[in-house]
Structure 1
Amino acid sequence: MNILETEWLSRMDYGQAWDLQKKLVKEIDRDDRAETLLLLEHSPTYTIGSDRHPEHLLYGKEELTRRGIALYEIDRGGDITYHGPGQLVGYPLLYLDAEGLDLHRYLRNLEEAIIMLLADFGITGSRKPEYTGVWVGDAKIAAIGVKFNKARARRGFITSHGFALNVKKNVEQEGFQGIIPCGIAEYGIVSLETLTGMELQVEEIGIRIIPYFAKVFDYDAAPTGATSLSS
């Protein structure tokens, strides 16, 4: 098996994390760094993916400033979503060899790791064929949006961006009301705390997802690292 480095970065502004991803993608491409799973929370942020539907953002610039929510147009797939405190964000930076490459399978594997985590809590996570992400009934608990960066030194791709799992109850109300999440108006949002009735910590959930992620992607996961990458 390959070793997967895991890093818990705590709270980080979106722009800083985006720059870090781009830096590490280059290092992994050069084989200067092991493949890595970054786990963190973000300050309140809306990100608009390559689908580019700005009409799904319901707040104007003044309201965004008043609420302290950053806005980024970024290079992942998908539409608009929210990131903020109480949400576990995972950025897998993995090398996908060109031989036998199945990009859709990569997305399904991300979903599967989250579904396996939910099962730990007695929750049945599911997929909706027309959408990417993880659902509990008709409520979305995890959004997924990725980028496949063409490797320069090898044949294949290196992944970036990733998943956002709603852990704390506050996530349901503190940002999603300002957007049409992923352009999907007919379904709601839910958190792990709401479903379990438990008080949970984001870092705890990050640690618990690592073995499922490693299993799905066939890695040996190294112990979770410190926050040194953020500097």
Structure 2
Amino acid sequence: MGKRFLRILDIGFRDYVSAWNLQEEYVLKRLCGSIPDVLILVEHPPVFTIGRAGTGEHIIAPQEVLEREGIKVYEINRGGDVTYHGPGQLVGYPILNLGEYDKDLHETVRKYEEVIIRLLAEYCIEAGRIEGLTGVWVGDEKIAAIGIGVRKWVTFHGFALNVNPNLEHFKLIVPCGIRDKGVTSMEKILKERVNWEGLKEKLIYHFVDVFEYDGLY
């Protein structure tokens, strides 16, 4: 097997639909072999997304509240239930061709979790997993959500790390359909803001390490 490289595409603050369309474009390019694996990094305006296993009933806020808060709703083609994206949340969309090295979706999700667990350890945040549940947790509170899609073994969608989002927005839904767990953020735990550029650098380092890339393209 030849060397494997990862391309980073940091698109900054971007509306959900344009980032979704960009994923579709890059999935096609990855399927055709014209690009290496890609990690898209983005921050979104407020949005609720409903995955294939989800239901709109888990959005518990009335429409007038969503309109007041400027929150849009989309049904999308990833696994999982309802989740929130918004300012202060670092979202990653890995476009990976698992067919080239490891056709195991569950293992890929575990690796996403491992990247975030290692990243948080650098901030002295002890995070881990809860058996039977997807995502990264600090105690009984979720700090990172994960939802994956796949097309002919090329992944899309991905993970969302709560850095300093508006945690009140999570109260408008049943996050991931789980009623007996909470939601937290790095800012809430650390009681201070996190430097975004440093955070992204650490995330990229651990992503390259966990997925055993030879370097960045």
TM above 0.5, one fold? yes
Which one of 113, 130, 136 corresponds to residue 138 of structure 2? 136
3-state DSSP class of the match of 2:98? Answer: strand
Quick check: 1:163 aligned with 2:156? no
Matches within 5 A, 1:83-122: 83-97=85-99, 101-122=103-124
Q: Give the TM-score normalised by structure 2.
A: 0.94
Q: Give the TM-score normalised by structure 1.
A: 0.89
- Give yes or no for contact 1:124–1:136 (8 Å, CA) kept in 2: yes
Partner of 1:199: 193
Distance 1:35 1:142 in 2: 22
Structure 1 stretches of 5 or more lacking a match? 151-156, 224-231
Structure 2 stretches of 5 or more lacking a match? none
Which of structures 1 and 2 has the larger relative contact order (alpha carbons within 8 angstroms, sep 6+)? 1
Partner of 1:36: 38
- CA 1:12–1:139: 2 relative to 1, 3 Å: same
Partner of 2:204: 210
3-state DSSP class of the match of 1:182? Answer: helix
Matches within 5 A, 1:165-180: 165-168=161-164, 170-173=165-168, 175-180=169-174
Distance 2:197 2:51 in 1: 26
**What is the Cα deviation at residue 6 of structure 1?**
0.5
Root-mean-square deviation (CA, aligned residues, Å) is 1.5
Q: Return the letter of the residue paired with 1:28.
A: R
- Give yes or no for contact 2:44–2:85 (8 Å, CA) kept in 1: yes
Partner of 1:153: none
Q: Percent identity?
A: 44
- Give yes or no for contact 2:50–2:76 (8 Å, CA) kept in 1: yes
**What is the Cα deviation at residue 197 of structure 1?**
2.4
Distance 1:213 1:99 in 2: 16
- CA 1:61–1:221: 2 relative to 1, 3 Å: farther
Tell which deviates more after alignment, 53-62 or 125-134.
53-62
Query: What number of residue pairs does the alignment pair up?
Result: 215
